[in-house]
């Protein structure tokens, strides 16, 4: 299946960047949780399974995967519906399927599945530019999993599906007029959504973000603590495992949503620059893969996968610095979380897949 010559076209540089980020994340999880804990080992298993998933996504030609993408899409929808009824409840939301030893979070896999199915949809389009009907169909395809995920409720993950649609549609030739109109609609809809679509705690988070001091002990607490954590890091940081904010639990879920804050505290601005540089490098390498893709399908697939990844990285890093409302969005490749790690590495398998097969027929 994996031909020998393909092996030479694997993007080893991007892979190195990805694993460097995984290693940094692992180190910060070690620091934030206080050593070789169960969480630390779970993360290692996550990485190992992720590499396995990546290898699978790498070995099967993306075109044959795309051909079966509707089945993958349907499968994910079924899993999401199963979750809604039989999922494991934690922290007020029903997101996980209990597999006995591990819990699986299907929503993490929905992103790649959506990228696949949309890439196929737009890639097969024979028209030069995409029409409004195309957009409507694409929006509908994205809306079904989005609503299912939002119902869990997991608005953060649900929102990461939107960039997938936009990125693919944009590169697929969505007219600039529609881009403008959508931007305008977004601005107009926001207040309505504020009033009707958001739950109280979500509204509170956003209003707290605008003025954290109004609720320094409640919702604003995490945001203020995030800024203190990052700001107190300075240029060189407080040293590995020497961070006070993370170590003494002033910052909640330091190994998860706020792993980047802990990194910033312990490794300082220097560590932040290195890590941000690695992320940018990986993203630019992936965009390069899209540019080199043999066909539109490949380019769209890369972009779709990359879009949710990039969105999530940027949002999480911004939030880690206390510059965005606190939302349960993890930092891909670094945050603790098995499903996220496996899904992310599998998605990068698809990107490598496209680049690797740029010369094949």
Partner 1 sequence: MAIQEDRRRITVRLTVLQVACVVVFAALGISFWLLQIVEHAKYEEMAANNHQRTLALRAPRGVLYDRNGQVLVDNRHSFTISIVREHTKDLDRTIRMLSEVAGLDVNDVHAIVAKHKSEPSYRPIVVVEDASLAQVAAITARRLDFELPDVVVEEVPTRQYPAEGIAAHLFGYVGEVNDAMVATDDSLKSGDLVGQAGIEKTYNPLLMGQDGARVVVVNSLGREISTLEEVPPTEGKRLQLTLDYDVQKAVDDGFKAAHTARLTNAGAAIVLDPNTGEVLAYASEPAFDPNTFAAGIDRATWVSLTTDDQHPLNDRAIQGRYSPGSTFKMAVAMAALEEGIITPDFQVHCGGSANFYGRSFRCWKPGGHGTISLRRAIEQSCDVYFYTIGNMLGVDKIHKWATLLGLGVKSGIDMPNEAVGLVPSTEWKLEKMHEKWYAGETISVAIGQGQVSVTPVSMAVYAATLANGGTRVTPHLLKAVDDGHGWKPVAAPAPQSKVELHPEKLQAIRDGLWGVVNGGGTGNRARVQGYDVSGKTGTAQVISNAGRVAAARSGKDLRDNGWFVFFAPRDKPEVAGVVFLEHGVHGPNAARVARHIVATFFAKKEGRPLPPPPTPADMQFDFSDPYGLGHMPGAPPPEEAVNDTH
Cβ–Cβ under 8 Å, residues 42 and 335: no
Q: Which stretch binds partner 1 (CB under 8 A): 84-92, 208-216, 230-238, 333-341?
A: 230-238
Q: Which stretches within 60-160 are classed as H helix?
A: 62-67, 69-86, 106-123, 132-150, 155-159
The tokens for 148 are: 């299912």
Cβ–Cβ under 8 Å, residues 23 and 284: no
Between CA 150 and CA 132 the distance in angstroms is 25
Please give the C-alpha separations between residue 139 and each of 114, 164, 192, 220, in angstroms, as whole numbers. 11, 10, 20, 34
Residue 182 lies near partner 1 (rule: CB under 8 A): no
- Identified binder of partner 1 from the candidate list 38, 177, 195, 217, rule CB under 8 A: 217
Q: Which stretch binds partner 1 (CB under 8 A): 183-191, 198-206, 267-275, 325-333?
A: 267-275
Between CA 202 and CA 190 the distance in angstroms is 13
Q: How many CB atoms lie within 10 A of CB 316?
A: 24
- Identified binder of partner 1 from the candidate list 15, 39, 44, 283, rule CB under 8 A: 283
Residue 74 lies near partner 1 (rule: CB under 8 A): no
The tokens for 49 are: 């399974």
Binding mask 93-132 for partner 1 (x = CB under 8 A): -----------------------------------x----
The tokens for 120 are: 């196929």
Q: Which stretch binds partner 1 (CB under 8 A): 49-57, 208-216, 288-296, 336-344?
A: 288-296
Residue 192 lies near partner 1 (rule: CB under 8 A): no
Between CA 248 and CA 225 the distance in angstroms is 12
User: For residues 80 and 135, which CB has a smaller minimum distance to partner 1 in the complex?
Assistant: 135
Q: Which stretch binds partner 1 (CB under 8 A): 80-88, 192-200, 231-239, 338-346?
A: 231-239
Q: Which stretch binds partner 1 (CB under 8 A): 31-39, 68-76, 194-202, 226-234?
A: 226-234
User: For residues 78 and 129, which CB has a smaller minimum distance to partner 1 in the complex?
Assistant: 129
- Identified binder of partner 1 from the candidate list 50, 145, 156, 268, rule CB under 8 A: 268
Q: How many CA atoms lie within 13 A of 122 on its CB side?
A: 35
What spatial distance separates the first Cα and last Cα of the chain, rounded to whole Å? 14
192: helix, strand or coil = helix
**Residues from 128 through 157 that contact partner 1 (CB under 8 A):** 128
Cβ–Cβ under 8 Å, residues 354 and 10: no
Between CA 343 and CA 309 the distance in angstroms is 10
- Identified binder of partner 1 from the candidate list 180, 276, 359, 360, rule CB under 8 A: 276
- Identified binder of partner 1 from the candidate list 186, 291, 359, 360, rule CB under 8 A: 291
The tokens for 106 are: 């299907």
Residue whose structure tokens are 């609720």: 215
Binding mask 30-69 for partner 1 (x = CB under 8 A): ----------------------------------------
Applying CB under 8 A, what is the total number of residues that bind partner 1?
43
Chain residues in the site for partner 1 (CB under 8 A): 128, 167, 170-171, 173, 217, 225, 227-235, 244-245, 248-250, 264, 268-269, 272-273, 276, 279-280, 283-284, 287, 290-291, 296, 299, 303, 310, 314, 317-318, 321, 323
């Amino acid at each position: 299946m994996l031909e020998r010559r393909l092996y030479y076209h694997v993007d080893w540089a991007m892979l190195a960047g990805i694993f460097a980020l995984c290693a940094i994340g692992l180190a910060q999880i070690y620091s934030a949780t206080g050593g070789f804990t169960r969480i630390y080992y779970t993360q290692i298993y996550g990485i190992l399974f992720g590499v396995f998933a990546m290898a699978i996504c790498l070995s099967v030609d993306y075109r044959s995967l795309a051909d079966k993408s509707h089945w993958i899409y349907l499968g994910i929808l079924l899993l999401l519906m199963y979750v809604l009824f039989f999922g494991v409840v934690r922290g007020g939301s029903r997101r996980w399927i209990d597999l006995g030893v591990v819990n699986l979070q299907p929503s993490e896999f929905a992103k790649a599945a959506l990228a696949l199915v949309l890439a196929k949809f737009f890639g097969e389009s024979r028209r030069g530019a995409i029409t409004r009907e195309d957009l409507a169909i694409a929006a509908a395809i994205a809306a079904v999993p989005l609503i299912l995920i939002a119902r869990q409720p997991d608005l953060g993950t649900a929102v990461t599906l939107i960039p997938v649609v936009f990125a693919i549609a944009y590169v697929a030739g969505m007219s600039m007029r529609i881009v403008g109109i959508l931007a305008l609609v977004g601005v107009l809809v926001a207040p309505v959504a504020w009033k009707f679509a958001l739950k109280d705690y979500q509204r509170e988070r956003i209003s707290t973000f605008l003025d954290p001091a109004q609720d320094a002990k409640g919702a604003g607490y995490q945001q203020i603590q995030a800024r203190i954590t990052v700001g107190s890091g300075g240029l060189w940081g407080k040293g590995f495992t020497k961070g006070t904010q993370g170590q003494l639990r002033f910052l909640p879920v330091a190994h998860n949503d706020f792993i980047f804050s802990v990194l910033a505290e312990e490794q300082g601005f220097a560590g932040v620059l290195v890590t941000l540089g690695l992320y940018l490098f990986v993203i630019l390498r992936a965009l390069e893969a899209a540019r080199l893709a043999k066909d539109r399908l490949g380019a769209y697939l890369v972009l779709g996968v990359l879009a949710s990844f990039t969105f999530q990285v940027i949002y999480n890093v911004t939030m880690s610095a206390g510059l965005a409302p606190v939302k349960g969005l993890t930092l891909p490749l670094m945050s603790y979380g098995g499903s996220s790690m496996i899904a992310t590495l599998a998605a990068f398998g698809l990107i490598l897949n496209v680049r690797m097969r740029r010369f094949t027929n």
